[in-house]
Amino acid sequence: MNSSDHLPSIVLVDDEEEILFTSSNLLASSFPNRVVTFSDSRSLLPFLAQRQAAVIVLDLQMPGLTGQELLPQIVYLHPQIPVVIMTGANAVETAIDCMKQGAFDYLLKPVENSRLITTVTRALELHRLRGEVTSLKRSLLGAEQERHPAFAQIITGNRKMEGLFLYLESIAVSQQPALISGETGVGKELFARAIHMVSGRQGAFVALNIAGLDDVMFSDTLFGHWKGAYTGASQLREGIIAKAARGTLFLDEIGDLNPLSQIKLLRLLQENEYFPLGSDMAKRSSARVIVATNRDLPRLITGGEFRNDLYYRLSTHSCHIPPLRERQDDLPLLFDHFLRMAATALEKEPPLYDEEVTRYLAGYSFPGNVRELQAMIHDAVARHSSGVLSPESFRERVGHLPQETKPLPILREVAPPHPDSFPKLKDAEMNLIRQALVAAGGNQGDAALLLGISRKALNNRLSRGRSNG
């Protein structure tokens, strides 16, 4: 058994000695002094408790302890390690089930040499990226920072949002993709633009909403085409990815991307190259990709509608923007901001308003979030002629709602942050944990995987947060 003390190991587990010997020699030629082999599956967990591993290649059918039985234990105890399943053609469905349980990929025996090398290389890259995310989060929680001017257009005083700003500032300089999730109207494009501004990238910010685009339209818009590529392509067209060179390409509604286009986007992210329609010459891309969605991508993966390898690539860095109903302390700030904005656009004086207005609106769920609030206020100001804005100005759109027992404060101006109200490090940590739990649908094991910590460590932090709360 050979390994290196300096780099995490590549671990092969298979009861067939011949396969173990052949595979280990092949991997050792590309990754010298990193390969560790086990013919007895029961030896794996004790090894992982003592040594670091970057990838595990695990046979599915083994005596004693099968790969299918080992997988959930690895995912639970060592969520940062990608697991590649090896199986025969008669157990493909089982291998797919393993991927739903957290396996990175699967290989069919006999495994092609190039396929084994490529899969392990991709798994090593994922392990490295997960380590980078963990390092960034630790850096985030290790020092307080002031809000970057790029976030000035996002009106908030909420601690969760302030924690997001710190995280996004930390990942802005990364070249890796970023995934922004959140309900319709929370301001996902604003966040993407802020990341671009913080990054200091020299190129432009180029946005594309891909909802409703078929594969040809997506490919043509993104990659461009050569003259004569298809009927009607009378001249050369440059795609928007070229326009975003050295800048940021923002793809909204990524959850609606069709299967063929998912494959092309995955290649772009993996190879940083693409083919314009009608061309067999690859072009290089220097754009950083940020995507956004209001859909539950893990659920789409389970339903076979979204590729899990694309999801892992896109979510190297990820954040979830909380809906307006979860940050009602922002309602007075947003109300005042949009009131003044609407009055300016309509060339009116900002009307006075009763504090009962925000108290009344606090009982509304805002399915359209900040965008809905802005539209609602603009309409109310447009129809207003005299007097004071009251709840009646919004009753037609919102309906009759139960009154809040505690009115929300009306903030006419944003005051400098007071030390008692400024977000603390423990709040930033709990914010990250909450975001991970939301992204994982409440599953603590999956949340720990996203955070790059063990489930036990996550439980300890949650317990500490409850006792401090």
Determine, yes or no, domain membership for 119.
Answer: yes
What's the confidence (pLDDT) of residue 410?
A: 39
DSSP summary character for residue 253? -
What's the confidence (pLDDT) of residue 305?
A: 94
What DSSP string describes 347-395?
T-PPPPB-THHHHHHTTS--TTHHHHHHHHHHHHHHH--SS-B-THHHH
Tell whether 65 and 113 lie within a shared domain. Answer: yes
Its domain, for residue 369, covers 325-398
Tell whether 202 and 243 lie within a shared domain. Answer: yes
Task: Please say which residue of 350, 383, 398 terminates a domain.
Answer: 398
Q: Do the beta carbons of residue 208 and residue 264 sit within 8 Å? A: no
Low-confidence ranges of the chain (pLDDT < 70): 1-6, 134-146, 228-234, 400-428, 438-442, 445-446, 449-450, 452, 465-469
What's the confidence (pLDDT) of residue 467?
A: 60
What's the confidence (pLDDT) of residue 2?
A: 40
Q: Which two tokens stand for residue 435?
A: 């975001």
Within 13 Å, how many C-alpha atoms sit on residue 438's CB side? 20
Instruction: Give 228-276 pLDDT, tens digit per residue.
Output: 666 666 677 888 999 999 999 999 999 999 999 999 999 999 989 988 8
What's the confidence (pLDDT) of residue 178?
A: 94
CATH of the domain at 382: 1.10.8.60
Q: Which two tokens stand for residue 164?
A: 């997001």
What's the confidence (pLDDT) of residue 157?
A: 87
The sign of the CA dihedral 311, 294, 195, 444 is negative
Residues in a beta bridge with 85: 58, 106
What is the C-alpha to C-alpha distance for residues 392 and 376, in angstroms, rounded to an integer?
Answer: 12
Domain count, the chain: 4
What lies within 8 Å, CB to CB, of 433 at 6+ separation is 447, 451, 458, 461, 462, 465
Determine, yes or no, domain membership for 138.
Answer: no
What's the confidence (pLDDT) of residue 442?
A: 66
Task: Please say which residue of 132, 161, 196 terminates a domain.
Answer: 132
Tell whether 189 and 122 lie within a shared domain. Answer: no
CATH of the domain at 451: 1.10.10
